[in-house]
C-alpha cells in the first residue's frame, strides 16, 4: 500500500488547445478509497492514466509514498489500472487472464496457480475459469478484470468507471464487492466516476474535477452541505441558488432580505439551499411565497418546482394525502442555518474551489 501524491500534474494532448489535466495537486492517503468525480471530458481518466504511467505528464510529478515515480514505466509502477471496458484478453481463458500479471513477473507456476485459485474463489469465479471472456456476462467480466488486478497485490488500484457498464442491480452488488475487498485488502484505491451517487456511496473522500482541475475535495457530506461553487452544487443535484449581496447578517437578493448565519465576508455572494431544507408552510424565519409550477409524486415524498427569482427552485417535502399544490401560491421559509453562502469574486461566479 502506498500513499499517492500528485504535484502540479499537467497533461496536454498534442494538438489540443487546453490541457486535459491542468496543474493538479492531490494527496491520497494509504489505504484510502478516493473517488475522482466529474463530468465526461473533465480529465479524470487522463489523471488515472498519468498515475498508472500510461501517459507521460507534460509537467508535474507523481509520488508513491516518498518515491518519485513520474519516470517509472507502467510495468514497474505496481499501480494497476482496471479499464472501463474490462479489456480481458479475448484469446485467453479467464484463469489465464487472471494469471497474466503473475506470469509477467516470472513467478513459479505452482505459486501462480495457488494465487489465481485464491483470488478466483474470493471473487466467486471458480466455475468460470475455463471460459473465454466473450462467454461471460458484463458483471462476470468486471469481476474477472478486478481479480486480474488484485491478484498482483498492487500498491495502488486504479478503477476507471468500474460500475458504469453494469445493470442497476449488478451495480449494487459490484459496489458492495469492491467496498468489502478494498476494506479487507486495504489497497489504496482511486476510482473514476461521473456519477455523484456512486462516488458518495463508495468513496472515503471525493475529489471533484471540472476542466482538468480539482475544484473541491472532501467527504461527500461537504459537497451537499458546503459546495464551494454553484456549479458544484448543481452537479450534486442542487440548483436552488440566487445571487445576492451580504451585509452583516443580512443578504439582499431577488426574494428580498434574508437573515443568514454565515462566516462569509460581506460582498457579492451566491445563496444556495438544498431542496429538502426548504420548509413549506407559513411562519418560520425568512418567510416567502411562490407559485408551484409542477408537483411530482415520488412515493415517499413530493417534489415541487417553485418559481423563484426568474428561475425554478426545487422543494422536497413529505407526501401528504390530498396536498395538490400545482398552480397555487404557497408559503415557504428558509432556515438561516441551512442557507449556504458562496463568496463570489467579480465577474466569475462559476469558479469556486
Partner 1 sequence: MNGNRRGLRSRKCCARVLHRVVLIAIVGGVLLPIVPLLLWSVSHSWFFPQVVPSEIKLRAWSYIGSPFSKVLNALVNSLLVAGMVTVAAALLGVPAGRALGLRRFRGKAIVEFLILAPIIVPGLAVIMGVHVLFIRLGLVDTIFGVALVHLLPSLPYMIMVMSGVFANYNVEFEQQAYSLGAGRVRTFVQVTLPAVLPGMVTGALFVFLISWSQYILTVLIGGGRVITLPVLLFAFASAGDNAVTAALCIVFLAPAVLILLFTSRYLSGESGAMGGFGRL
Binding residue for partner 1, selected from 64, 83, 304, 332, defined by CB under 8 A: 83
What is the dihedral sign for C-alpha 71, 72, 73, 77? negative
Terminal CA-CA length for the chain: 29
Q: Can residue 125 be called a binding residue for partner 1 (CB under 8 A)?
A: no
Establish if 80 lies at the interface with partner 1 (CB under 8 A): yes
Return the range that interacts with partner 1 (CB under 8 A); candidates 75-83, 247-255, 257-265, 314-322: 75-83
Task: Give yes or no for residue 72 binding partner 1 (CB under 8 A).
Answer: no
Per CB under 8 A, 20 contacts partner 1:
no
Residue 310, CA atoms < 13 Å, CB-side half-sphere: 4
Is residue 264 a contact residue for partner 1 (CB under 8 A)? no
Based on the shown chain and the rule CB under 8 A, indicate whether residue 105 belongs to the binding site for partner 1. Answer: yes
- Coil/strand/helix, residue 210: strand
Q: What is the rounded CA–CA span in Å between residue 302 and residue 88? A: 45
288 touches partner 1 (CB under 8 A): no
- The whole-angstrom separation of Cα 39 and Cα 64 is 27
**Residue 190 and residue 51 in contact, taking contact as beta carbons nearer than 8 Å:** yes
Task: Provide the angle, in degrees to the nearest 10, between the axes of the packed helices 94-104 and 109-122.
Answer: 130
What distance separates the 2 farthest-apart alpha carbons in the chain? Answer: 75
Q: Work out whether 148 is an interface residue with partner 1 (CB under 8 A).
A: yes
DSSP letter at 265 equals: P
Cα 146 from Cα 159, distance rounded (Å): 9
How far apart are CB 249 and partner 1 at their closest, in Å? 54
Selected from 104, 121, 127, 324, the binder of partner 1 by CB under 8 A is: 104
Residues in the chain: 353
Candidates 28-36, 68-76, 270-278, 289-297 — which segment interacts with partner 1 by CB under 8 A? Answer: 68-76
Shortest Cβ 281–partner 1 spacing (Å): 55
- Answer yes or no whether residue 192 interacts with partner 1 by CB under 8 A: no
Q: Which CB, 105 or 249, lies closer to partner 1?
A: 105
- Location of C-alpha cell 489505504: 31
Q: Is 57 in the site for partner 1 (CB under 8 A)?
A: no
Residues of this chain that interact with partner 1 (CB under 8 A) are 49, 52-54, 73-76, 78-81, 83, 85, 87, 89-91, 100-101, 104-105, 133-134, 148-149, 152, 158
Amino acid at each position: 500500500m502506498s500513499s499517492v501524491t500528485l504535484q502540479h500534474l499537467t497533461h496536454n494532448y498534442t494538438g489540443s488547445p487546453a490541457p486535459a489535466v491542468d496543474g493538479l495537486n492531490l494527496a491520497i492517503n494509504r489505504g484510502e478509497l478516493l473517488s475522482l468525480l466529474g463530468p465526461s471530458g473533465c480529465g479524470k481518466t487522463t489523471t488515472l492514466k498519468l498515475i498508472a504511467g500510461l501517459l507521460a505528464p507534460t509537467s508535474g510529478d507523481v509520488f508513491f509514498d516518498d518515491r518519485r515515480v513520474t519516470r517509472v514505466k507502467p510495468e514497474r509502477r505496481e499501480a494497476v489500472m482496471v479499464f472501463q471496458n474490462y479489456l480481458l484478453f479475448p484469446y485467453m481463458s479467464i484463469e489465464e487472464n487472471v494469471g497474466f500479471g503473475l506470469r509477467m513477473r516470472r513467478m513459479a507456476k505452482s505459486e501462480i496457480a495457488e494465487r489465481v485459485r485464491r483470488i478466483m474463489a474470493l471473487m466467486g469465479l471458480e466455475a468460470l475459469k475455463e471460459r473465454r471472456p466473450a462467454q461471460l456476462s458484463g458483471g462476470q467480466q468486471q469481476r474477472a478484470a478486478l481479480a486480474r488486478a488484485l491478484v498482483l497485490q498492487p500498491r495502488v488500484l486504479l478503477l476507471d468507471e468500474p460500475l458504469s457498464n453494469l445493470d442497476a442491480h449488478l451495480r449494487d452488488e459490484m459496489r458492495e464487492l469492491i467496498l468489502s475487498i478494498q476494506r479487507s485488502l486495504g489497497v489504496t484505491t482511486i476510482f473514476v466516476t461521473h456519477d455523484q451517487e456512486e462516488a458518495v456511496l463508495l468513496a472515503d473522500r471525493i475529489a471533484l474535477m471540472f476542466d482538468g482541475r480539482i475544484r473541491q475535495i472532501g467527504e461527500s457530506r461537504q459537497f451537499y452541505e458546503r459546495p464551494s461553487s454553484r456549479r458544484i452544487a448543481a452537479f450534486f443535484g442542487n440548483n436552488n441558488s440566487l445571487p445576492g449581496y451580504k451585509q452583516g447578517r443580512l443578504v439582499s437578493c431577488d426574494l428580498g432580505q434574508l437573515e443568514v448565519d454565515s462566516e462569509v465576508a460581506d460582498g457579492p455572494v451566491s445563496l444556495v439551499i438544498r431542496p429538502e431544507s426548504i420548509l413549506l408552510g407559513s411562519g418560520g424565519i425568512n418567510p416567502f411565497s411562490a407559485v408551484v409550477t409542477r408537483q411530482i409524486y415520488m412515493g415517499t415524498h413530493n417534489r415541487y418546482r417553485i418559481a423563484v427569482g426568474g428561475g425554478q427552485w426545487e422543494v422536497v417535502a413529505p407526501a401528504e394525502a390530498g396536498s395538490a399544490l400545482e398552480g397555487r401560491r404557497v408559503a415557504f421559509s428558509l432556515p438561516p442555518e441551512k442557507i449556504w453562502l458562496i463568496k463570489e469574486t467579480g465577474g466569475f461566479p462559476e469558479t469556486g474551489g
